[in-house]
Structure 1
Amino acid sequence: MYAMLSTIETDRLSQGDSVNLSVAFPLRRYIEEGAAEAMLGGRRHAITMRGTACMALSLLDTYGAAPYDSYPAEGVNYDALARGVNAMARRSQSLSHLRRQVGDMLDSRMGALPQRVYMLHAQYSFGEFARSVYAQDYQALTSFTHHPFGRRVVLELPDNHRRDSFLNVPLDTLMHAIDRALDQGYAVCWEGDISEPGFSFSRGVATLPHSPRYDQQLRQRWFERRQTTDDHCMCIIGRAHDRQGHPYYIAKNSWGTDNPFGGMMYISRDYIRMKTIAIVINNETCHIRL
């Protein structure tokens, strides 16, 4: 959620605009939505706060958005909220009663939702505000060979609860899309694996051992063996090189600022090639030729 909203905010900055989006608003809507499924679907449909970058876009499409100042909800433990709602859902025998209970609890923990939101002296509904800053102009890409290239596919990910789809493209096309977006001043929402020993937030780097074998086939093998997993999302904002000339991508993380780069991560190009599950980029930069 944080990475996708950060990507939208960064893209607005590149267009000469500035917006600070509320993370709490879509997360509240997600919990409210999940309460009914948790009650009617049982434990198999319990709310989890894990999801894909596309989930954030889906929530914006469905419920709209709010500026941070309209709904800040600081210091919320969303995992604890989800556990509380799941417990309510297991006990409840009335959907309308559950919705009232959940609404009261979320109001208590997060604050009541405003009826309208305001920005720069203008008044918006949640949907109007979302369209003013987002306008459904993003494309999700992935690259795996067990699906045909050139088609939208539903990735088999544990966190893809909403069965979001991704355009499946060859690996080199995916990398070119990242570079093209950055060259044009847009950010890239990155979703991928952070379980490798070379991923270290404390050092601010993510690397793989050097190898000439980092290709589509090895990438697929790692995914099928679950050596590449869907762990985390970050917002890629630029590129850099180390002293030896090795290329890196610069990413904003959501884990605070306590590393040598103020919370930024330097991710090697090989790491991006092999450990990316999916990316989300602005449609203005996405001219895919298959």
Structure 2
Amino acid sequence: MLKTTPVKDQGNSPLCWVYAMLATIETEHLMQGDSVNLSPDYVARMWLTERARFSYLSKGKHTISMRGMASMTLNIIQRYGLEPYDAYPNYKGVNYNVMARTATQIARAATSFDILENRLDDALNHNIGYLPPTLFMFGVEYTPLEFAHSVCLPGEYEALTSFTHYPFGQKFVLETPDNQLRDSFMNVPLDSMMNRIEQSLRNGHPVCWEGDISEPGFNTAAGCATLDNESTPITQQQRQRAFETLQTTDDHCMELCGIAHDIKGDKYFIAKNSWGKTRPFSGFMYLSFNYVRAKTIAVYLPKQL
């Protein structure tokens, strides 16, 4: 199993897309010998700020949602930077669904951009915490954007998916409700996607996984996710049918950080979750290869692989 930072807890927030992508970046650096632990709350604050501005400028026609895809985390940190976890921790257990409603109300009530910014900052400072005035790492002062570029360069990660309603070898905008920024994903055959995931992990690089957890076989109490029929590999056509009939939906994100085998020799991906150090494996889960074949919406992995 690859090295990871401690398991975090997203609480009641729908911010798995932030936690999982940051966990993937953290592991990538831990495997290179660097120590980095990143703040999900900084990313969440920047997202709230951006969407409140958008809501105001669109005359309040857009309600702010904290749901998203992991690709949005990459976009946000390239625009606004990052903070280390210790510099901007979540001590208050912020309810981000409430914060989204508050930000929406502030945006709709604001009569000028300055009023929006001031009222929003007051609400964010009170509920999440004040942003640190400076950022020092190893005796060097960074801006949040400089720090972000030191741990995640623009274009460092590639987003892959596998569906047949678009040509393979081309990028397309995934039609999921959580793709709020209309990000594009490289479309590859299912076997190619699975091979990229496995080879990434075997070469010491983590993968951010995004997919469906609505199946009965996604058993958090047992700490594993399997399909009813594990003996027959899911085909590209079966996977497509489940997506088109909305049986496969974009529910959750986790970091894939290892490969394991059960007593029968069946392979599983080890996933780091963001629901706290609970359940049988202290915050980790085992996803069968067949489950990942069937239920993956997208994966994110270092582009050089």
Q: Does 1:276 align with 2:296?
A: yes
Note the 1:190-269 alignment, pairs <5 A.
190-210=209-229, 211-212=231-232, 214-269=234-289
- Corresponding residue for 1:26? 43
* Rounded Cα–Cα distance in structure 2 between residues aligned with 1:219 and 1:34: 33
Q: Deviations over 1:163-212 (max 9, x none)?
A: 11111100000000001100110100000000000001121010101252
Instruction: Determine which of 187, 193, 204 is the counterpart of 2:206.
Output: 187
Letter in 1 for 2:175: E
Alignment partner, residue 91 of structure 1: 109
SS in 2 for 1:278: strand
Q: Match for 1:161 among 180, 202, 216?
A: 180
Counterpart of 2:58 in 1: which secondary structure? helix
Instruction: Give the 3-state SS of the residue equivalent to 1:280 in structure 2.
Output: strand
Report 1 or 2 for greater relative contact order, CA contacts < 8 Å, sequence distance ≥ 6: 2
In the alignment, which of 128, 131, 135 is matched to residue 149 of structure 2? 131
| Of 41, 45, 49, the match for 2:66 | 49
Q: Which residue of 1 aligns with 2:9?
A: none
CA distance in 2, matches of 1:153, 1:164: 8
Moved more, 20-29 or 40-49: 40-49
Q: Give the Å deviation of 1:39.
A: 2.6
Name the TM-score, length of structure 1 as normaliser: 0.95
1:99 is paired with a residue of what secondary structure? helix
The answer on whether the counterparts of 1:249 and 1:266 sit within 8 Å (CA) in structure 2 is: yes
Q: Is the 8 A contact 2:212 2:295 kept in 1?
A: yes
Instruction: Tell me the CA shift for residue 76 of structure 1.
Output: 1.5
| 1:110 matched residue in structure 2 | 128
Separation (CA, whole Å) in 1 of partners of 2:294 and 2:137 = 41
Whether contact under 8 Å (1:202, 1:258) holds in the other structure is no
Query: Given the alignment, which residue of 163, 166, 172 partners 1:147?
Result: 166
Aligned-residue sequence identity (percent) comes to: 51
- Could you say if the C-alpha distance between residues 96 and 214 of structure 1 is closer, same or farther in structure 2, counting changes exceeding 3 Å? same
Relative to structure 1, the CA distance from residue 122 to residue 89 in structure 2 (aligned partners, 3 Å threshold; closer, same or farther) is same
Q: Name structure 2 gaps, 5 residues minimum.
A: 1-17
Cα distance in 2 between the residues matched to 1:262 and 1:72: 21
Which of 165, 174, 187 in structure 1 is aligned with 2:193? Answer: 174
> Which segment drifts farther, 107-116 or 49-58?
107-116
Q: What is the identity, as a one-letter code, of the residue corresponding to 2:143?
A: S
CA distance in 1, matches of 2:60, 2:246: 25
Greater Cα offset, 38-47 or 144-153: 38-47
Name the residue aligned to 1:122: 140
> In structure 2, what residue type is equivalent to 1:208?
L
Change in CA separation of 1:16 and 1:213 when aligned onto 2, cut-off 3 Å? closer
1:64 aligns to 2:81 (yes or no): yes
Q: Is the 1:239–1:248 Cα contact (8 Å) retained in structure 2? A: yes
Taking the aligned partners of 2:295 and 2:259, their CA distance within structure 1 comes to 17
The alignment covers a number of residue pairs equal to 285
How far apart in 1 are the matches of 2:166 and 2:81? 32
Rounded to whole Å, the distance in 1 between the matches of 2:220 and 2:106 is 36
Q: Tell me if structure 2 keeps the 8 A contact 1:70–1:118.
A: no
Q: Is the 8 A contact 2:209 2:296 kept in 1?
A: yes
